Amino acid sequence: MRRMGRSIFGKAPARAWRNKTNGSVGRAAQRPTTRYRVIYKIGYTFPQMRNSTASRTLNVRRRLLPRTARPFTTLFVVACGTVALLLSLPQTALAAPKEEKPLLVYSIDVEGGQATLFVAPSGASLLVDAGWPGNDGRDAARIQKAMQNAGITTIDHLLVTHFHDDHVGGVPQLLKLVSVGEFLDHGVNREDSDATRANFAAYEAAIQGKTRRIVHPGDTIDLSGVSAVVLAADGEHIAAVKGAKPQPNPFCAEEKKWAEDPSENARSVGILVSYGKFRLLDLGDLTGAKEVALVCPNNPIGIVDLYLATHHGMNLSNSASLVYAVHPRVAIINNGAHKAGSPEAWQTIHSSPGLEDLWQLHTAEDSDAAHNSAVDLIANPAGMPTDGAYLKVSASSNGGFTVTNSRTRQTSMYFRK
């Protein structure tokens, strides 16, 4: 004889015994001499017995289940149903919204020249000027370093604001390192200078056979979601920016008389870059008389978030009627240690209503402490063993942006207004 089962209650087990002769559970079988009692035959088959036991087990579990636990069972069932419903939805309905990519702007240290790199969220790029010639390709290498930080290997558009060597001189060396899709400039050299004529000739030789476009006021440079509008070029300027109504400029009444400038500076290409609500103004080396003509008596530009100080912060530019009218939140001076960043221009920009910070690429060592920003706002302060640090702007389409000092890796945030 052998045991056949056990109780579901965990008490003394009930046993059934088989007759050694026919294997049936016998009603006439003698009681065994062991302590187990006989379970008499009933009219169930084994499958029926299993089903009956399962049914009794379920009923007992229901009776034993605490009433307080039943709501949690209901919640579990609802949760399972919710998960099943979510899994049945299309993947596009479940996808989290994509985080917006910023517009990146690099003010690159080319020691008092200009090289400003714009990289749109799409990856489209615009380089404004290429710094100086010579110096063993220093400026071209610094531009390429900024490109690597932005994650690009080619430049879609290269805009030459004018034909002075601190703006156009680095183009031939840059083209040895980087491929450029399109060159933009204001046309021919207008300055009666052997040095400028040489710069222009070297530029034309370097871009021979490549795509070149002459830009005029009102033209646009498309960066796939980021717009650059030409405000000034070859001595002419725009009367109105599309979508904006020019407003009377109250600062014109007290503006001083600026001398006319026959140099290439006055021919500079100036642009307004827009990404959603974020706006940046870069007028190259446009000088005072042309600045005043652009914004007086009416200001066609409106206000901007970031002002790239004209002419490296020289006192030949940065008229109050321009700077105060565009009302920048932040300004960057792309000066050199011993070039530009003059006290008069610094003070005009610093005094602009609503200005939050004034950044510099270098300490203006020929100025004084009162007309230099705090050291944290200077990419390459005096006394550093090396230079070449840049300022990196990361702008959102809602108008907010940050400025990062690559030397300190510290970031200042300017929230949308």
Structure tokens at 163: 């034909």
Q: Is 400 helix (H, G, I), strand (E, B) or coil?
A: coil
Contact of 230 with 216, CB cutoff 8 Å: yes
Region 242-252 average pLDDT: 94
Both structure tokens of 97: 């919204």
* Mean pLDDT score, 338-346: 97
Highest mean pLDDT (candidates 50-54, 67-71, 243-247): 243-247
Backbone angles phi, psi at 18, to 5 degrees: -95, 145
The shares of helix, strand and coil residues in the chain, as percent rounded to the nearest 5, are: 30, 20, 50
C-alpha span between 284 and 280 (Å, rounded): 12
The two structure tokens encoding residue 37 = 């009692």
Question: What's the pLDDT score for residue 417?
Answer: 80
pLDDT at residue number 83? 52
Digit-coded pLDDT (tens) for 79-104: 555 555 555 655 544 444 568 899 99
When pLDDT is averaged across residues 39-46 and rounded to a whole number, the result is: 42
- CA geometry: angle at 31 spanning 25 and 36, to 5°? 85
The CATH architecture one would assign to domain 103-414 is 4-Layer Sandwich (3.60)
Q: Which helix (H) or strand (E) holds 290?
A: helix 288-295
Burial degree of 302 (CB within 10 A; 0-12, 13-18, 19+): middle
DSSP state of 113: S
Closest CA to 408 of 394, 386, 389, 383: 389
How far is the C-alpha of 168 from the C-alpha of 1, rounded, in Å? 106
Where do we find the tokens 């932040």? 330
d(CA 382, CA 301): 35
Rounded mean pLDDT of the chain?
Answer: 85
Q: Cα–Cα distance between 340 and 388 in angstroms, integer?
A: 17
Three-class secondary structure of residue 157 per DSSP: strand
Least confident of 68-77, 112-121, 216-225, 380-389: 68-77
Q: Who's near 326: CB < 8 A, 6+ residues apart?
A: 281, 295, 299, 301, 302, 303, 304, 307
29 vs 18, 34, 328, CA distance in Å?
9, 14, 107
Domain boundaries, the chain: 1-64, 70-95, 103-414
Mean pLDDT for the stretch of residues 206-219? 98
Q: Would you state the pLDDT for residue 181?
A: 97
Q: What radius of gyration do the chain's Cα atoms show? A: 39
CA distance 136 to 188: 28
According to DSSP, the residues that pair with 127 across neighbouring strands are 117, 158
Q: How many CA atoms lie within 13 A of 68 on its CB side?
A: 0
